[in-house]
């Protein structure tokens, strides 16, 4: 449950930064959220 919460926070932060026009942090946060944290949450 904790991994899902961390993944959700990181993904939401990525989209929030993307909405503000972020071009560096947003893609990093989204990639980490979707490619690392979500699979970890599924496997745990």
**So what's the pLDDT on residue 41?**
97
Q: Are 33 and 14 in contact (CB under 8 A)?
A: yes
**So what's the pLDDT on residue 22?**
87
Residue 21, number of CB atoms within 10 A of its CB:
7
Range of the domain at 25: 2-43
Mean pLDDT of successive 10-residue stretches along the chain, which has 44 residues: 96 97 95 98 94
Q: Report which of 25, 3, 4 is spatially closest to residue 16, judged by C-alpha positions.
A: 25
Q: Are 9 and 25 in contact (CB under 8 A)?
A: no
Into how many domains does the chain fold? 1
Residue 36, number of CB atoms within 10 A of its CB:
12
pTM: 0.91
Residue 42 CA to residue 37 CA, distance in Å, equals: 9
């Amino acid at each position: 449950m904790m991994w899902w919460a961390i993944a959700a926070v990181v993904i939401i932060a990525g989209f929030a930064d993307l909405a503000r026009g972020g071009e560096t942090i947003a893609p990093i946060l989204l990639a980490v959220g979707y490619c690392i944290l979500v699979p970890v949450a599924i496997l745990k």
